[in-house]
Amino acid sequence: MPFSVGLQAASVALLSAGFPVVFTSAIIILLVIISITSSLQKDAADAPARLPINSLFAIIPFFRRRFDFLNWGFEVTGKSSFQFDLLRNNVIVVSGESARQTFFSAKGLDLTEGFKILSGAIPMVRGVTSDLQTRRISLIHKRLAAVQKNEQLSMLIPVMLEDSRRMMETWGNSGSFDPFDNVYELIFQLTVRSLSCAEISDDPCVVSRLKKLYDTLDVGTTPATVLLPWFPTPAMIRKVWATKEIYDIVVAAITAREQSGVSKNDTLQMLLDSGDEKLVVVGFIMGLLIAGARATGTTACWMLTFLGGHPEWRDKAKTEVEGLLASYPLASSESLASQLASISLETWEAQTPVLDSIIRETLRVAQPHTAMRRNLGPEMHIDGQLVPSGAYVVYPFSDVHLNSEIYPDPWKFNPDRQPETKAAYSYVGWGGGTTTCLGQRLARVELKIVTALFLLGFNHCVVDGSGKAVPQPPLPNWNDILLCRPPRGSFSLSYERSTAAL
């Protein structure tokens, strides 16, 4: 009787506290119940080793310090694979050559489902960027391939170079900047130019607004917004509002084009001329803008940082670009952007081995990817370890790219290096198996023309927070799952304009 009276008193007190307290308390109780029920589950005999950690306590490390958390998991279990729970989501982490080979080739492991649940940084609009039919996904991939055809990509190069020239001019004759601000902003502009339309890319204010909205999605991607997307946290509300504004900007641009009746030579026109339904057009632009800008932007920031800290490679790359220009003589009065625009797409792709090696090495050492999949069934085994249907499977790129047996002194930036082994998938900078980066041709061209214009237009080096030149660039921070960015303010790139006009 005293027990029931106590419950009644507690219930009255809780209800009188108001809806926010009741709702929050209900969520806490739900999480505790999930945690308890998860801990009572028994694993099969052939299941991976389980981390000695409660599912609630795995959430923050997985989303905030993933590199350290996964390394700790391998260390504490002493196994090449292990599992843990994120609430009711079973996550299995694998490593090693055999597991890597299975991971990148198994048909039942779905990238879209894995990324959607464990990442959550793409704007989700039902039927537009999420819950897409297979046909629509296939069509979006087909259109991305069309953007990268020779004629379309050749047409884009002069326009992207002009965008780059315009933005670099705003940097002035000398100074210093954080590449993760200035260079990332530049790559975002080029990605908008390449994958959307003139109505957006020609308006710096709209592009800036769009970037801030996508930044809001990044900042607002918290463990709660990923695992409890229905819970109205302030971060989730900001994400929903940012997604709506992104959607409105894209739809407004499409509507303006349709109402004007004026045909323009850009990606939007290609999509409209193909007769694609509006959902496909909007989904293409909203999803691919941020996917392309993040990966290419991170690589560009690190390329210029590494070149600033390795003057020998900076000189090699600059000499290579100067050699290309020697084959395309123009009047000396032409701007650097105009001179570089005269270089053919075929030349950029086939005659820049130094830039290719720099891109490859940058992707190896400064792309903190963790590949994510979901087993859509049936159950399977990786290295003899059970992967149930519905489980999420994770493969950290650090397992291969920072492996000293494959890449001696793995943290060292050395574009001359080759893998010390013929192991399967010894390099996965652009993905592996059937899930390679579909936009890599466009990304390579963006990286090359931005690097070329910057190296010819500026001299630069890496300086510390006080402005003093440092002998080595900073180490990439693999716990930053988006940019690999070192602590803000710890370094910058100091630059001076060369005599040539951009």
pLDDT 10s digits, 364-405:
999 999 999 999 989 999 999 999 999 999 999 999 999 999
Return the percentage of the chain with pLDDT > 70, whole number.
Answer: 85
The three-class DSSP label of residue 386 is strand
Which residues lie across from 93 on neighbouring strands? 82, 394
Please give the average per-residue pLDDT across 411-429, as a whole number.
Answer: 90
Q: What is the dihedral of CA 105, 109, 112, 115, to 10 degrees?
A: -100
Q: What is the pLDDT of residue 155?
A: 95
Cβ of 206: how many Cβ atoms within 10 Å?
A: 17
Which residues lie across from 81 on neighbouring strands? 94
Question: With contact defined as beta carbons under 8 Å apart, do 94 and 80 qualify?
Answer: yes
Q: Tokens in use for 307?
A: 């070149």
Q: Where are the beta strands (DSSP E) in 437-477?
A: 458-464
Going by C-alpha positions, the residue among 433, 440, 424, 399 that lies closest to residue 108 is 433
In Å, how far are 38, 190, 202 from 159, measured between CA atoms?
A: 54, 9, 11
- CA–CA dist 432, 106 (Å, integer): 11
Sign, CA torsion 225/227/229/232: negative
Q: What is the pLDDT of residue 26?
A: 45
In Å, how far are 108, 130, 150, 223, 426 from 115, measured between CA atoms?
A: 15, 11, 31, 14, 22
Q: Is the pLDDT of residue 32 over 60?
A: no
What confidence tens digit (pLDDT) does each residue in 111-140 have?
Answer: 888 777 666 555 555 544 445 556 677 888
Angle subtended at Cα 274 by Cα 271 and Cα 279, rounded to the nearest 5 degrees: 55
Point out the annotated binding site for heme: 437
Q: What is the dihedral of CA 106, 109, 111, 113, to 10 degrees?
A: 170
What does the DSSP 8-state code read for residue 409?
A: S
- CA–CA dist 156, 148 (Å, integer): 10
- CA–CA dist 315, 455 (Å, integer): 9
Cβ of 466: how many Cβ atoms within 10 Å?
A: 5
Kindly indicate the confidence band of residue 43, based on its pLDDT and cuts at 50, 70 and 90: confident
Runs of H (alpha helix) within 124-233: 134-147, 150-169, 179-195, 198-201, 204-219, 223-227
Point out the annotated binding site: 437
DSSP letter for each residue of 210-266? HHHHHHHHHHT--HHHHH-TTS--HHHHHHHHHHHHHHHHHHHHHHHHHHH----SS
Question: With contact defined as beta carbons under 8 Å apart, do 167 and 185 qualify?
Answer: yes
Q: What is the pLDDT of residue 118?
A: 61
Return the percentage of the chain with pLDDT > 90, whole number.
Answer: 65
Q: Tokens in use for 401?
A: 């790219």
- CA–CA dist 502, 318 (Å, integer): 15
The three-class DSSP label of residue 126 is strand
Kindly indicate the confidence band of residue 24, based on its pLDDT and cuts at 50, 70 and 90: very low
113 burial via Cβ count (<10 Å: 0-12, 13-18, 19+): middle
Kindly indicate the confidence band of residue 410, based on its pLDDT and cuts at 50, 70 and 90: very high
Kindly indicate the confidence band of residue 421, based on its pLDDT and cuts at 50, 70 and 90: confident
Question: With contact defined as beta carbons under 8 Å apart, do 85 and 38 qualify?
Answer: yes
Which residues lie across from 392 on neighbouring strands? 91, 374
In Å, how far are 140, 197, 201, 372 from 151, measured between CA atoms?
A: 19, 17, 20, 34
- CA–CA dist 468, 485 (Å, integer): 20
Angle formed by the axes of helices 179-195 and 150-169, nearest 10°: 140
Question: With contact defined as beta carbons under 8 Å apart, do 102 and 382 qualify?
Answer: yes
pLDDT, the chain, mean: 87
What confidence tens digit (pLDDT) does each residue in 68-115 have?
Answer: 999 999 999 999 999 999 888 899 999 999 999 999 999 999 988 877
What confidence tens digit (pLDDT) does each residue in 187-224 have?
Answer: 999 999 999 999 999 999 999 999 999 988 877 666 66
H-helix or E-strand containing 310?
none
> Structure pTM?
0.88
Kindly indicate the confidence band of residue 496, based on its pLDDT and cuts at 50, 70 and 90: very high
Angle subtended at Cα 84 by Cα 80 and Cα 88, rounded to the nearest 5 degrees: 150
Please give the average per-residue pLDDT across 421-427, as a whole number.
Answer: 88
